[in-house]
Structure formats: C-alpha cells, structure tokens
C-alpha cells in the first residue's frame, strides 16, 4: 500500500472523494443562494429546507408513485421550484421595499415551519434511499475504489454549475438578469417584466437546492433536519466566496469541500469546524470575501 | 431656525418618562407577586430569557445589527458558570462573574470579526461563528458532550443566602435581571446610545460627523454579549444545568423570535416576547409536541408580514407613548 505523508493512499483518496461530494453540494447550494441574492437582495434561509424537500420529494415519488431516481431528478426540482414561486408571490414580493433583514427573518420562519411539518409526519430518524440500479457498484482505479454513484454526483453537479454559469454570463437571458440586478428600474423601462423575472429567479434557485437534495438522497439518509445544519456551513461558504460572482460560488464550494475532506484525514477533530475557521481567516485578511466586491 | 419645534418635543419627553416609569413600576409589582401565583422556576426561566432578549435587542433595535449567533454567548457563559460552580466549587456570585466575563471576551473576539461586514453578511457570520463553537462544545471534554453539565450546585450567595431555596433564588434572579434591564435602559438613553441610534439610521453620516462607528459597534456588541452571558450564567444556576441546547442555533433563533414578537427597538418588547415564547414552549409543547416549531415559524412569518412593530410597538403606537 502506498503511503502519502504517512497516510495510506486509500484513506486519503477516499476522504478526498467524500470532500468532492460535499463540495458538489456546497457549490450547488451556494450557487442558488448567490443567484437569489443577486435578484432579490435577500438571503434565502429556507434554502436548507428546500434541499431537504428535494430529497423527500425523491423519496415520496419512489415510495408512493413508483417513479424512479431519474424521473425524480427532473420532477422534484420542478415541484419544489413551483413551491418556491408560490413563496415568492405570497410572501417575499411584499418585502421588496423593506430592509433585507426582514427577508432573512421571514425565510428563517418558513424554514422552521417546513422542518416542523416534516418532523411531525416523518419523525427525526433518517430514511434510506436506494442508489439507482444503473449506478450501483463501482470501479477500481488502482489507487482507490470509486463508487459509480459518487462519480455521477460530482460530474453531474459540475455540469449543472457550469450550465448555470453559462446561462447567466453568456446568454441574452442572462444579460437581462445581470442588468436587472444592477438597475431594475432602467431594465423595466426597456419593457422587460422584472417582477416576473425575480419570481422565476427565486424558483430557479430553489429548484437548484431541490436538485442537490435529490442527488444527496442516496448518499445521506433522507431526514427532516438534513438541511438545517448544512445551510449554516453553506452560509460560511458564501461569506468566504463573496456573493458577487457565480464562478466564485462554484469554485469556493468545491475547494472548501476538498479542504474539509483533507482535514478529515490529517486532523479529524477539526473537520467540522475547519470551514468556519477559514471563514474567520478570510474575514481578517479580505473582508469582502475571495471573489466579492466590497459592499 | 428650528427653535419653534422645541416645546412640543420637550412635552413628548415628559410623557415618555411617565409612561416608561409607570410600565416599570407595574412590571416590578407583577414580578413581586408572580412566584406566589405561578411556578417560580418558570418565572425565573422567563426572566433569564427576558434579559437575554433585552441584550439582543440592544444590538438589533438600537444599532441595527442582527446577530443570528447570540446563543454563543448565552451558552458558553452557561457552561463556564456551571463548570466553575460544580468542579471548582465556586460560590454563585463568582460563577456568574466568570461566565459573564467569558461572554465579554467571546463578544470582543466574535464582534471584532463580525463587524467587518454589514447587514446580511453580519447575520451569516455570527451564525457561523456560533455554529463553530457549537461543534467545539460537542467535542470539548469539559462540556460533557451530549449530557452537558448536570446537577450544578446553586451554593450560598455571598456565603449567607442559601440559593437552594426557591424564593431566595427568585429574589437573586429578579434583582440581577432588573439591574441588567436598567443598565440597558441607561445605555440607550446615554450620549453613547444616541450615537448608536445615529449609526442605525445612517452610518455614512455618522462617519462623516467624525464618529469611529466600528468602535461604537464593537462596544455595543461586547455589551450585548456580556449581558447575554449574564443571562446564560443565571440560567445555568436556575436549572442547575448547562447543555448543548444553550449553544445550538435554535437558541439564537428563539431570542430573535422573542424580540421580534415583543417589538424591535422597544424597551419592554423583548420582556413581553420572552415571557410569551417561554410560556409557549413550557405549556404548549406538552400538548402539541413538534407543532411548536411550526407555530414559532408561523409567528415569524406573521410578524414580518403584518406585525413588524411587535406587540409592545403596536401598543405604544395606539397609546401614543414610548414603551
């Protein structure tokens, strides 16, 4: 067995893989937060709950409707995204003229409501979700064993992240979005329906969270509180990256996942706190975040 | 030029003092009778949370900073008081002092980091810092992990008053909480407090007037953290317990809810909010179970959408006085 810095390579690469998996979820979630923040100027505290709803949607679709993972991967984000649109229309659209802190408080309350409802019906214990048949098993790469499903999660989340980046930074629709972020009044004067764009953006950000939830279902157990602890780490990721840049959110997400994985190998006691420590260091050196413009 | 506006302003001030003193006297009278009517531990619990919420309100109501990680100070002060009282056999006054001081130090560190960003980022940073300390409390040997520190002795205050007697303990808690309450009132009505309000209204303007706003914000943050710590230390003695619940993010959420429900930036709001939320958690939870979480979340939503002044804020508006 090959050793690297006195650590068996199997363990090292195993944790790196786990880090990349976590990084995929950090990237998807912080990307959604950044997109929503850009348009609505609020931090979506419900994001963790919506990620959890995505996982539950996959579980319930399989359990009660018999729809498999691949269908859930499309249907769940659409369903949860639709609830997001409802939330924006019913609640968030009324807060547009207020201090953004009220958006934070409202979405925090919604997160409590959603988590509480799911806990009432499904308890706090996790429910397993089978890896889809076509992705079961894995391959031996010589230096480590790579489960197929995990490889799929990393590749697919990279594809989704870059597709989102492409749409926002390189297409006409994206240019409308960016323009509306900078100056909504002017963009409205050009005849573009900005409020509808805001609503759809929120729905899209929520759908991204739900997509991450579906992908997470076979890896972690599906449970009502799976989102609430994750969202706090994602907040730290967002503070480190700064929310000004889409690419920044993606890169920071993956990078911090890897750092966390490596910490698990070399200094396991610190693995749950390392991202917060990095946040503190970044704040001391570059308060605006690695990719952020100073606000 | 604006001289003519002065007399009505003065009049408002006199009315204000009147309504606040009346409310204060009523409150003290209520607390004096309370332990003979309601279960004393319940009132003491609510009093601790009232002080916690008032400390939190000092930041959000008067500086406009929303901390989503105030459980950090409450919880760690609670741990350190419990630890010193139990393992070192420290008398209660010393245990409370150590807990409160540790919260002040933590407040200086966390505040120094968090005030580097504003608004929404400030909320996320404080939440993340609190979560970091939660994981630390989970792992650190002296916190007792999942069990917490149990059976903390209340001891004898100044070597004379036996705090294991419920009424003596109640008197101690009441005196400390009222002192904390008056201290906060003094802060917000001092020249220092006026500068804090100026920062809340328009930070750029305050900077241009020559105030070092970061320093003011940091001092306010440390004061708020210290008083939150005082509340946490008292709570450890009241329940004779310090546990992970005290440092968890749900605790930070609870104190936000208390303040929002009672009324942001009102003097008595956090008190009223704390009593309502604690009563709900005590008396409603056994009946409705997990629904408490749903109800709390729903209160958040309703408060933000239609009830942003909170109970005391609305009342003050109806009566046209300050409360």
pLDDT value at residue B162: 77
Whether B116 and A112 lie within 8 Å, measured CB to CB: no
Which chain B residues have any C-beta within 8 angstroms of a chain A C-beta? 66, 68, 113, 116-121, 123-125, 127-129, 131-132, 135-136, 138-139, 249, 253, 256, 260, 289-301, 303-305, 308
Average pLDDT over residues A243-248: 83
Residues from chain B contacting residue A287 (CB–CB below 8 Å): 116-117
Residue A272 lies in a domain: no
* Assembly ipTM: 0.88
Of A43, A105, A116, the CB nearest to B291: A116
Range of the domain at A45: 13-135+151-231
Reported as a pLDDT band with limits 50, 70 and 90, residue A267 is confident
In terms of pLDDT, which residue wins out, A78 or B160?
A78
Structure tokens at B121: 């980022």
Cβ neighbours of residue B194 under 8 Å, at least 6 residues apart? none
Residue of chain A minimizing CA distance to B64: A101
Of A112, A238, A272, the CB nearest to B135: A272
Q: What is the domain count for chain A?
A: 1
Q: How far apart are CA A109 and CA B22, in angstroms?
A: 34
pLDDT value at residue A79: 96
Helix (H, G, I), strand (E, B) or coil at B65: coil
Residue of chain A minimizing CA distance to B292: A116
DSSP designation for B149: B
Whether A105 and B256 lie within 8 Å, measured CB to CB: yes
Cβ neighbours of residue A20 under 8 Å, at least 6 residues apart? A154, A254, A257, A258, A261
Residue of chain A minimizing CA distance to B261: A105
How do the pLDDT tens digits run along chain B, 323 residues long? 333 444 444 444 545 678 888 888 888 888 888 888 888 889 999 999 999 999 999 999 999 899 999 999 999 999 999 999 888 888 888 999 999 999 999 999 999 999 988 888 899 899 999 999 998 988 888 888 788 888 788 877 787 777 778 888 899 999 999 999 999 999 998 999 999 999 999 999 999 999 999 999 999 999 999 999 999 999 999 988 888 989 999 999 999 999 999 999 899 999 999 999 999 988 888 888 778 889 999 999 999 999 889 999 888 888 878 78
Decide if pLDDT at A89 tops 80.
yes
Q: Would you call A115 an interface residue with chain B, using a CB distance cutoff of 8 Å?
A: yes
Residue A293 lies in a domain: no
Whether A239 and B136 lie within 8 Å, measured CB to CB: no
Residue A292 lies in a domain: no
Whether B124 and A43 lie within 8 Å, measured CB to CB: yes
Whether A239 and B124 lie within 8 Å, measured CB to CB: yes
Q: What is the pLDDT of residues A114-171, one digit of tens each?
A: 999 999 888 888 888 888 888 888 888 777 788 889 999 999 999 999 999 999 989 9
Range 85-104 of A in CB contact (< 8 A) with B: 91, 94-95, 98, 100-102, 104
Range 20-39 of A in CB contact (< 8 A) with B: 37
Whether A269 and B294 lie within 8 Å, measured CB to CB: no
Decide if pLDDT at A41 tops 80.
yes
Count CB atoms within 10 A of the CB of residue B259: 31
Concatenate the DSSP letters of all residues of B36-62 into one string.
HHS-HHHHHHHHHHHHHHHHHHHHHHH
Q: Would you call A163 an interface residue with chain B, using a CB distance cutoff of 8 Å?
A: no
Q: Are A80 and A57 in contact (CB under 8 A)?
A: yes
Strand partners, A3: A8
pLDDT value at residue B5: 40
pLDDT value at residue A290: 85
**Residue ranges covered by each domain of chain B:** 40-248
Residue of chain B minimizing CA distance to A241: B121
Strand partners, B149: B242
Residues from chain A contacting residue B293 (CB–CB below 8 Å): 112-113, 115-116, 119
Q: Is B91 exposed, middle or buried (0-12, 13-18, 19+ CB in 10 A)?
A: middle
Q: Which of A47, A250, A238 is nearest to A166 (CA)?
A: A250
Residues from chain A contacting residue B120 (CB–CB below 8 Å): 37, 42-43, 100-101, 104
Crossing angle for the helix pair A274-285 and B119-139, to the nearest 10 degrees: 140
Distance from CA of A275 to the nearest CA of B (A): 9
Distance from CA of A290 to the nearest CA of B (A): 14
Distance from CA of B216 to the nearest CA of A (A): 19
Cβ neighbours of residue B252 under 8 Å, at least 6 residues apart? B67, B68, B69, B70, B71, B72, B126, B127, B130
Residues from chain A contacting residue B117 (CB–CB below 8 Å): 239, 283, 287, 295
Residue A194 lies in a domain: yes
Q: How far apart are CA A204 and CA A208, in angstroms?
A: 6
The proportion of chain A whose per-residue pLDDT surpasses 90, expressed as a percent, equals: 54
pLDDT value at residue B8: 42
Q: What is the pLDDT of residues A201-227, one digit of tens each?
A: 999 999 999 999 999 999 988 999 899
Q: Would you call A268 an interface residue with chain B, using a CB distance cutoff of 8 Å?
A: no
Residue A286 lies in a domain: no
Q: Which of A2, A22, A1 is nearest to A264 (CA)?
A: A22
Q: Would you call A118 an interface residue with chain B, using a CB distance cutoff of 8 Å?
A: no
Residue with tokens 């006691």: A269
Residue with tokens 């002060």: B77
pLDDT value at residue A178: 87
Whether B304 and A109 lie within 8 Å, measured CB to CB: yes
Q: What is the pLDDT of residues A184-203, one digit of tens each?
A: 889 999 998 999 999 999 99
Decide if pLDDT at A1 tops 60.
no
């Amino acid at each position: 067995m090959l050793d690297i810095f006195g650590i068996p390579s199997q363990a090292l690469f195993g944790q790196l893989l786990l880090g990349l998996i976590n990084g995929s979820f950090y990237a998807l979630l912080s990307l959604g937060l950044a997109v929503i923040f850009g348009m609505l100027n609020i931090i979506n505290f419900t994001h963790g709950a919506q990620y959890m709803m995505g996982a539950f949607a996959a579980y319930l679709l399989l359990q009660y409707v018999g729809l498999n993972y691949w269908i859930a991967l499309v249907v769940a984000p659409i369903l949860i995204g639709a609830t997001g649109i409802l939330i924006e229309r019913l609640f968030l659209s009324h807060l547009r003229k207020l201090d953004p802190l009220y958006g934070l408080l409202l979405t925090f309350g919604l997160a409590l409501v959603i988590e509480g409802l799911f806990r009432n019906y499904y308890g706090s214990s996790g429910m397993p979700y089978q890896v889809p048949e076509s992705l079961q098993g894995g391959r031996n790469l010589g230096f480590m064993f790579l489960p197929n499903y995990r490889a799929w999660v990393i590749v697919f989340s990279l594809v989704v992240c870059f597709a989102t980046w492409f749409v926002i930074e390189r297409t006409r629709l994206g240019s409308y979005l960016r323009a509306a972020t900078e100056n909504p009044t002017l963009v409205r004067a050009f005849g573009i329906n900005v409020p509808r764009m805001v609503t759809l953006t929120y729905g899209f950000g929520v759908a991204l969270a739900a997509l991450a939830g579906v992908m997470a279902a076979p890896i972690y157990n599906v449970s009502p509180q799976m989102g609430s602890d994750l969202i706090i780490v994602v907040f730290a990721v967002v503070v480190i990256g700064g929310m000004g840049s889409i690419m920044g959110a993606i890169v920071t997400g993956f990078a911090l996942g890897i750092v966390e994985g490596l910490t698990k190998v070399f200094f396991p006691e610190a693995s749950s706190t390392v991202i917060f420590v990095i946040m503190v260091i970044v704040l001391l050196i570059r308060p605006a975040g690695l990719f952020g413009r100073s606000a | 030029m604006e001289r003519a506006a002065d007399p009505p302003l003065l009049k408002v001030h006199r009315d204000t003092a009147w309504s606040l003193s009346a409310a204060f006297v009523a409150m003290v009278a209520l607390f004096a009778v309370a332990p003979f009517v309601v279960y004393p531990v319940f009132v003491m619990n609510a009093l601790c949370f009232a002080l916690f919420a008032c400390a939190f309100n000092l930041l959000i109501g008067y500086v406009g900073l929303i901390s989503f990680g105030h459980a950090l100070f409450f919880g760690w002060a609670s741990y350190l008081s419990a630890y010193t009282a139990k393992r070192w056999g420290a008398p209660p006054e010393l245990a409370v002092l150590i807990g409160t001081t540790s919260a002040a130090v933590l407040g200086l560190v966390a505040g120094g980091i968090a005030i580097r960003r504003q608004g929404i980022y400030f909320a996320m940073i404080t939440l993340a810092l609190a979560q970091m300390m939660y994981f630390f409390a989970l792992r650190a040997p002296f916190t007792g992990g999942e069990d917490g520190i149990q059976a903390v002795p209340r001891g004898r205050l100044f070597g004379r008053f036996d705090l294991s007697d419920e009424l003596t303990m109640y008197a101690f808690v009441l005196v400390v909480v009222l002192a904390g309450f008056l201290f906060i009132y003094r802060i917000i009505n001092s020249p220092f407090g006026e500068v804090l309000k100026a920062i809340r209204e328009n930070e750029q303007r305050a900077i241009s007037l020559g105030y070092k706003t970061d320093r003011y914000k940091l001092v306010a943050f440390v004061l708020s953290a210290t008083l939150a710590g005082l509340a946490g230390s008292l709570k450890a003695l009241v329940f004779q317990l310090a546990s992970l619940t005290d440092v968890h993010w749900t605790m930070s959420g609870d104190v936000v809810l208390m303040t929002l429900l009672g009324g942001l930036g009102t003097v008595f709001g956090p008190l009223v909010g704390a009593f309502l939320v604690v009563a709900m958690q005590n008396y409603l939870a056994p009946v409705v179970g997990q629904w408490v979480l749903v109800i709390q979340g729903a209160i958040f939503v309703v408060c933000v959408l239609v009830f942003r002044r909170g109970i005391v804020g609305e009342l003050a508006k109806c009566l046209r006085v300050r409360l």
